[in-house]
Amino acid sequence: MKQRLSTLMAAAVMTAAFAVQAQQPMKKAPPPAKAAAPAKAKDGITAEFEKFREVLEEDNPAELFEAKGEDIWKHKKGPDGASMAQCDLGLGAGVVKGAYVQMPRYFADVGQVMDAERRIVHCMVKYLGYKEEDIRKQPFSNDSKTPDHVSVITYVAAQSRNMKIAVPQKHPKEIETFRIGREIFDYRAGPYDFSCATCHGSDGMRIRTQDLPNLRKPAEAIRAYQGWPGYRMTGGFMLTQQWRMNDCFRQQRFPEPAYLSDSITALLTYMTATANGQVYKGPGIKR
């Protein structure tokens, strides 16, 4: 029952259509809104969205950021003449192909597990002379600026297009990070006593017109990964997985984690390794 109540709270807190959502599932909580009357109409809308989503994905402006990132990766030089050719994303110095779908992973040079975004920022600071404090000042894109590291992440991600996710779980630190990530996923706190699992830990959940993936299952865990980094239609800029994770915490009314924090790396390790074997389609488009 406790689980059911929190399900209802998820609908209540996160949707403006509070009254509609709360009334219908009240009789029998699970399966929630999916079985409710308006579902049919919503599915029609979903089909219409998907049809034109394909049109939009055919020419995704994410490619503009991919091109910019490629230019930085291949041509930009740091103050000592270093370049990203020296950056090891886990498959050897300068190897980009397939690297994105094999992170987070353990990096011996820093003695810790890093996710793709964290590793790329690390390399841009180390080799290209970017200042970490500058990057932290604006880690995510906004209306007026998509930061360089976001473009590089987009490029690296695109180089894993149509490849299978294969996050290593060999090094003890990789295994430990996965375990911590799972704990964070289930950790309930904040003013609404939420965890990631409240919305993403069981089947058949829905917010408004969107059905929510159960991220404990490989075939659904991919949905948290697919399409990131994503070109956001509203505003027209790129957003990364780190941004998405932070936004989940914001929606749960948690304090937002610091950029590139260990907790996000751990969550991404848990969620991505759970999706191992699924195919990543490259940078996407998000509403």
Partner 1 sequence: MDALRRTLLKGAGATGAIAAAIAAGVLKPSQALAAEWNKNAFEARDLAGALKGLGAGGAADSKDIVIKAPDIAENGAVVPVDVASNIPNTQSISVLVDKNPFPLAAHFDFANGALPQVAVRLKMGQTSNIHVIAKADGKSYVAAKEVKVTVGGCGG
Partner 2 sequence: MADPMKIRAQMQGDTADIRVLMSHPMETGQRKDPQGKVVPAHHIQSITATVAGKLVLDGQIGAAVSRNPVFGFKVKGVKAGDKVVITWVDNKGDKRTDEATIG
Positions marked active-site: 248
Q: Output the smallest distance, CB 63 to partner 2, in A.
A: 5
The residues in 126-145 that bind partner 2, with binding defined as CB under 8 A, are 143-144
Closest to partner 1 by CB, 57 vs 132, is 57
**φ, ψ of residue 228 in degrees (nearest 5):** -105, 140
59 part of the interface to partner 2, by CB under 8 A: yes
Task: Return the closest-CA partner of residue 128 out of 144, 151, 109.
Answer: 151
74 part of the interface to partner 2, by CB under 8 A: no
Closest to partner 2 by CB, 59 vs 80, is 59
Size of the site for partner 2 (CB under 8 A): 13
44 part of the interface to partner 2, by CB under 8 A: no
| Residue 27 neighbours by CB distance under 10 Å | 6
| Residue 109 neighbours by CB distance under 10 Å | 8
The residues in 160-199 that bind partner 1, with binding defined as CB under 8 A, are none
244 part of the interface to partner 1, by CB under 8 A: yes
64 binds, among partner 1, partner 2, none (CB under 5 to 8 A by kind): partner 2
The residues in 196-235 that bind partner 2, with binding defined as CB under 8 A, are 231, 233, 235
Task: Return the closest-CA partner of residue 103 out of 248, 287, 271.
Answer: 271
34 part of the interface to partner 1, by CB under 8 A: no
Residue 263 vs residues 135, 226, 287: alpha-carbon distances, Å:
19, 20, 26
276 part of the interface to partner 1, by CB under 8 A: no
Q: Output the smallest distance, CB 246 to partner 2, in A.
A: 18
Binding site for partner 1 (CB under 8 A): 14, 16, 45, 48-49, 51-53, 55-56, 207-210, 227, 230, 233-236, 239, 244, 247, 251, 286-287
